[in-house]
Structures are given as C-alpha cells and as structure tokens.
Structure 1
Amino acid sequence: MNTGTGFELCRDGIDYHEIIECIVSALDAKDPYTAGHSQRVSDMALTLSARLGLPQDEVEKIHIAAHLHDIGKIGVPDAVLNKPDRLSREEWNAMKKHPRIGADILSKSRHLNELKDIVLYHHERYDGKGYPEGLKGKEIPMGARIIAICDSIDAMTSDRGYRTAYSLEYCYKEIKDNLGLMYDPEIGALALLHWSEVTAAARK
C-alpha cells in the first residue's frame, strides 16, 4: 500500500475498500445488471493501467474509480434503470445524468473527491461527441479514457434485456474500428495488444 503522497485507501485508520464495497453493493441491489459489472470493469482497468506503466498510486486511483464509475445510477429512476427494452430519448437523457450524479456523490468525501473527475468523464468520447461536457482527446482525464474502453468491453460482452452478449471477437473489432473516435488510440491499441490479459475479467 502506498504510504507516501498520492491516493491511499487506508487513512486515519479507516479501510476505504470496505466503504467502497458497501457503496457498490447498494447499487448492485438496485440494478441487477451492475452486479459484477463494476468489479469486472475495475479488474480490466487495473490490468490496463499497469500495462501503461503508470505510477502505482495512479493505478490504484483508477482501479477504485472504475469500481465506482456507475455509482451515480443510484440516482436514476428504477423504471429507466431496469427497463428490459431500449430506452426512449427521454429515458436515455435521464440515464446520461449518472456520471454527474456519481461525481457529486464522491465530492462529498474528502478522500474520494479526487476520483470525481474520472467518474464524471468516463462517457466522454475521444472525438468530443460524448457526454456530459463533450471533452475531446487529452482533455479527458487519463483514468476516464481507460475506463471508457473497459466499460465498453464489459457492456458489449454482457447480456442485456434487448440483446444477447456479443463475442469478444466482435468486441475486439469494435474497439479497433473506433480508435480515435470513441477511444484514445494509444490506450486502445495497448488494450488490443494485450487483449487476452485485459479481457480476462470479462471472461469470468
């Protein structure tokens, strides 16, 4: 565990892993789809962050932010969150509020506040066509760019009410075809290079 400056998960004698597990469990109880999703995205983000050679405290920060990336869905109406069919435009607009809700939740904690921008921007696109603010390229925090790829992998390879899971082969092609559009081209290329390792969590 990091004992110097940077992100730490044990401060003032409190283990924040336990607190984070409680928060994510509350979301899992509300939304069956997220049960396991946050953990898989977190595992993939950990692997990809390490492959990027980031400092250990940054890897840990991204790992935890990935675990909490969908926490804002707690504030999305159940009728939208658990709808088995595709969402209407109005419902989709309600769903798109979850990154900001999540960032607001994390901003209430002086220990988790530094994760809020990663959570806020994990649905931004590299080409600037994402949400909530339309950030582009390197304007998007590194952690958010990593989570965007991992989140997409797990979303594509999971069953949804309106479709069955796509194969990892299909997912690989989608990531490759969207480098520089949806995804950071350098981070995405590294994910493809180490595909089996990065997607191990999605295959569990």
Structure 2
Amino acid sequence: MIMAMTKMLEIHDTYTNNHSKSVAEIATKIAEHMDISKEKTKEIYWAGIVHDIGKTIIPSEIINKKGKLTDEEFEIIKKHPIWGYEALKNSEELKDIANYVRYHHERWDGNGYPDGLEGEDIPLIAQILTVADTWNAMTSDRSYRKALPKEVAKEEILKNKGSQFSPNVVDAFIDLLENVKLEYNLGRSNA
C-alpha cells in the first residue's frame, strides 16, 4: 500500500518523491539520536515516506510552478496535510501515522497549519518531521530556487528554534550535524 502511494507521488512530482525518501532518512536519524523506541522510529520512517502524499491532489501546475505562489495557490498547498491524513486514517496499516502526516506543518509557536497546534500538543514524531522536512527543503534545489548553502540552512533552523521548531528536536538535529557528523547532504535531492 505504501509503495503504491509513493509511486503515485513519484509520477505526480519527482521532487516530492525524492524529498520524501530524504525526510524519512533524516527523521529516522534524529529519532534514533533522541533514543526514541524502535517501534516509533519505524513509524517516523514511514511517516516521512508518505508525509506529502496529500500533494497528489494538488495540480502539477502549482506543485511545479517556477515563480512565487499566489495566496490562493498557497492556500491549496496548505491543504495537503489534511488530504494526506484523510487518505491514511482509515487504513489499518497506516492509521498510526495519519496524525503525524496531518501535523507535519504545525509550528512550535502555534502559527502552523492545518490546526494551529503548539508546543507539546504537536506529537513528537510530527515535531521531528518538521525539522527534517524543512532541512531537506532548504538544502535541495526546487523548481523556483537553488539549494541554500548548508551553513545558511543550519542558521535558519537555529534562528527558528522555539518558534517554528521544537527546541529539543533542534538540539538533537544540530548535535547530529556537528558532533555525530551526520552528512550535511544527507537527504539532499536535486530533482
């Protein structure tokens, strides 16, 4: 089931497919570094793989747009966590990760979407996905911009610690980058 869903995503948007695999790898490394159980670490891997599955509903003209999105287009993009959640919630094998998919764009300060959750109300796995997702998005070429230098992306993550991101997850991620020597380009996709 998961592989069929990811194949649909790959057909619809090559960047998102590569991005999803990278997010799954990065999130798994963060979870392992935070000593999260093997069961939950497995869940985070699969949540990373399908976190953007709701984008299959978004028209490819919006997904692959070269320029800045209009406000209306961004409102459509912001629906993909809900669409992903809806696709997963009734599946016996995927229902446990449905909420992580729904909440992967929530912000620590409550200014995220779709539900405006904040702080510890956001499931830890979703908090980890948020950091992994953002890191990979910043350090990868996109249809509308080139990848940011790794040091710039790292500073952006640090700058948003406690506002966009969980402080504990950022600390674990930065420790991976600096002390465990996580490859800075882990998960980098240039599709």
- Measured against the shorter chain, the TM-score band is over 0.9
Question: For residue 43 of structure 1, what is the aligned residue in structure 2?
Answer: 25
**Separation in structure 2 between the aligned mates of residue 96 and residue 203 of structure 1, nearest angstrom:** 23
The 5-angstrom pairing of residues 1-204 of structure 1 reads: 19-195=1-177, 196-197=181-182, 199-203=184-188
Q: TM-score, normalised by structure 2?
A: 0.93
Give SS of 1:194's match: helix
**Separation in structure 2 between the aligned mates of residue 199 and residue 146 of structure 1, nearest angstrom:** 17
What is the CA deviation profile of residues 10-53 of structure 1, one whole-angstrom value per residue up to 9, with x for unaligned ones? Answer: xxxxxxxxx32221121011012213111000000110000110
Moved more, 162-171 or 97-106: 162-171
**Separation in structure 2 between the aligned mates of residue 74 and residue 57 of structure 1, nearest angstrom:** 28
What is the CA deviation profile of residues 42-85 of structure 1, one whole-angstrom value per residue up to 9, with x for unaligned ones? Answer: 00011000011011101101111111100000111222112111
Structure having the higher Rg: 1
What are structure 2's unaligned runs of at least 5 residues?
none
**Separation in structure 1 between the aligned mates of residue 64 and residue 188 of structure 2, nearest angstrom:** 24
Give SS of 1:126's match: coil
Number of equivalent positions: 186
CA RMSD of aligned residues (A): 1.3
Q: Larger RCO: Structure 1 or Structure 2 (Cα < 8 Å, ≥ 6 residues apart)?
A: 2
How far is 1:203 from its partner?
Answer: 4.6
Q: TM-score, normalised by structure 1?
A: 0.87
Q: Which amino acid aligns with 1:197?
A: L
**Separation in structure 1 between the aligned mates of residue 175 and residue 185 of structure 2, nearest angstrom:** 14
